[in-house]
Homo-oligomer: A and B are copies of this chain.
Amino acid sequence: MPPSQSCAGCGHAPVCQASGYDRPELSGLRHIAERIGPLRTGEYLYRPLSPFRAIYAVQTGMAKTVAVDVAGREQVVAFHLPGEMIGLDAIDREHHDNAVVALGKTQFCRFPFNAIRQVATQQPDVPWHLMNAASHRISHLQLSGGNYLAEERFAAFLVDLRDRRASLGLSTDHLPLPMSRADIGNHLRLTTETVSRLLGRFRQRGMIQLDRHGVNLLDLDGLRELGQSLLVH
């Protein structure tokens, strides 16, 4: 099956709209998009050493980016929601140096990089749109690299996920957590045990409610206060 071209008829226009892709100055991007997937839990969109040929966005579902260092240690570098750009860290490289893995049934949009550069010659806002995404990602990484307590980082993680879902028009009362505790912990520099304990602590305080597929945030203000130092304003 050849990848379907263009965004015409895509049922997921709303999240793209929320991410700013519906601006007429970016119309060219919509015409070069290819759909990838669905991939299922644990399947790879790309791997370390895969040649860099395209940028991606999640269309539906969720994904993680994982860096693998020389010693083989894995580092979960980001979780991706629909509409969020994937692969900006490889633009200055020949090859990807990390992997992108689906978390649950996930579809992607693929933007071939050659096509992006071609489109950019006609629509000069295109590179600046990517630049804005990169700029935002830099801000986020700078903050999250900071020296904060486990509780602060974890609260910020939950609130950040909620806020990103909110800005995409996704449900905010319930946060699905399709990744493992190990993934969350790895991402936040915590062990699975510590993640479990923090979830338990927040539950005991009545700040969250846990179910099999995720959490309900019962005290968003409380969590936001705990994580405030780590949240972009």
Contacts and interface: CB of A to CB of B under 8 A. Distances in A.
Contact of A141 (B69, B124, B132, B142): B142
A91 B90 CA distance: 19
Contacts of A139: 89-90, 92-93, 97
Interface residue tally on A, bucketed by range: 35 or more
A88 B128 contact: no
Nearest to A132: B92
Nearest to A228: B70
A71 interface: yes
A214 to B, nearest CB: 24
Interface string A16-34: 0000000000000000000
A131 B130 contact: yes
A169 interface: no
27 contacts: A67-B146, A70-B228, A73-B146, A73-B229, A75-B147, A78-B142, A89-B135, A89-B139, A90-B139, A91-B132, A92-B131, A92-B132, A92-B133, A92-B139, A93-B139, A97-B139, A97-B233, A120-B128, A121-B124, A124-B127, A130-B131, A134-B134, A134-B135, A141-B141, A141-B145, A144-B145, A145-B189
Interface string A83-111: 00000111111000110000000000000
Interface in A128-176: 128, 130-139, 141-147
Contacts of A189: 145-147
Contacts of A70: 228-229, 233
A160 to B, nearest CB: 14
Contacts of A142: 65, 67, 75, 77-78, 89, 98, 141
A186 interface: yes
Contact of A229 (B71, B117, B124, B229): B71
Interface of A is mostly: helix
A199 interface: no
A217 interface: no
A230 interface: yes
Given A75-B147, A88-B134, 20 more contacts: A65-B142, A67-B142, A69-B143, A69-B228, A70-B228, A70-B233, A71-B228, A71-B229, A75-B142, A78-B142, A89-B142, A91-B135, A92-B139, A93-B135, A97-B232, A120-B127, A120-B128, A131-B131, A134-B134, A145-B189
